[in-house]
């Protein structure tokens, strides 16, 4: 499996593009080069690009416009390059979503350091998002927002229904006994009827399984429940 980070260089000065390609290859990155703004925009939309080094002055489409269009659908890190040491260019680039800005000529070591920082931040942000969201097919549970969606349609759940579904999703493919579910969701000090679990499973099935005609929650006779 190729775990190299892929960097897109959008630069019409071929000597600079080639120099950056060699330096980035040496650092272990996979590099893609395009020489005009329109190609940069098309390539920058692809999901496997991890970071973009984007020149401002480009033929066919300016770097500013490329950045603006990419930001409409993607949060890929973007470092903008320019030959002009103009504060207005920097402000415009950052305002439309660029993550960083460097003025030519620049030290390649500094560019490499900024690339490392942005890629590290992207990994941390992605991990944080993944930790907050549990997905199961078209079903998404957002922990921090206390929200459930199916195909982007919001499902209204009570607090206990949400906690029960979250516990089942976090233990996907594991059969959970009623005792485990009761202790985790209702607490060890709960002294009510254990049938409360079956009642809440029915609530979840009516709001999810039956509504969307799917089989989400499975009953394992004599043991408990699971989501596969």
Q: Output the DSSP codes for 77-125.
A: -EEEEES---HHHHHHHHHTT-SEEEESS--HHHHHHHHHHHHHHHHHH
Say what the pLDDT of residue 128 is.
45
Check if CATH label 2.60.40.1930 holds for domain 137-227: no
Contacts of 169 (CB under 8 A, 6+ apart): 134, 136, 141, 227
Taking the domains of the chain in order of start, what are their residue ranges? 6-131, 137-227
Say what the pLDDT of residue 88 is.
66
| pTM reported for the whole predicted model | 0.56
Q: Residues 84-117: pLDDT tens digits? A: 666 666 677 677 888 888 888 889 999 999 999 8
| CATH homologous superfamily for the domain 6-131 | Response regulator (3.40.50.2300)
pLDDT category at 129 given cuts 50, 70, 90 is very low
| Domains 6-131 and 137-227 equal at CATH topology level | no
The β-bridge partners of 9 are 33, 53
**Average pLDDT score, the chain:** 86
């Amino acid at each position: 499996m190729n775990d190299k980070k892929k960097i897109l260089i959008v630069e019409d000065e071929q000597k600079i593009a080639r120099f950056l390609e060699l330096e980035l290859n040496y650092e272990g990155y996979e590099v893609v080069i395009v020489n005009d703004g329109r190609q940069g925009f098309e390539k920058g939309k692809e999901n496997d690009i991890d970071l973009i080094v984007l020149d401002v002055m480009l033929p066919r489409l300016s770097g500013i416009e490329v950045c603006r269009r990419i930001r409409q659908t993607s949060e890929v890190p973007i470092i903008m390059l320019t030959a002009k040491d103009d504060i207005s260019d920097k402000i415009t680039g950052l305002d439309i979503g660029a993550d960083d800005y460097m003025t030519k000529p620049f030290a390649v070591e500094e560019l490499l350091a900024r690339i490392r920082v942005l890629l590290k931040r992207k990994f941390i942000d992605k991990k944080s998002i993944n930790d907050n969201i549990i997905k199961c097919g078209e079903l998404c549970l957002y922990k921090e927002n206390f929200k459930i969606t199916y195909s982007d349609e919001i499902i209204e759940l009570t607090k206990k229904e949400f906690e029960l579904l979250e516990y089942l999703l976090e233990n996907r493919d594991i059969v959970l006994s009623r005792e485990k579910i009761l202790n985790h969701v209702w607490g060890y000090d709960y002294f009510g009827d254990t049938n409360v679990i079956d009642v809440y499973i029915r609530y979840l099935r009516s709001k999810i399984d039956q509504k969307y005609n799917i089989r989400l929650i499975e009953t394992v006779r004599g043991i408990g429940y699971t989501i596969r």
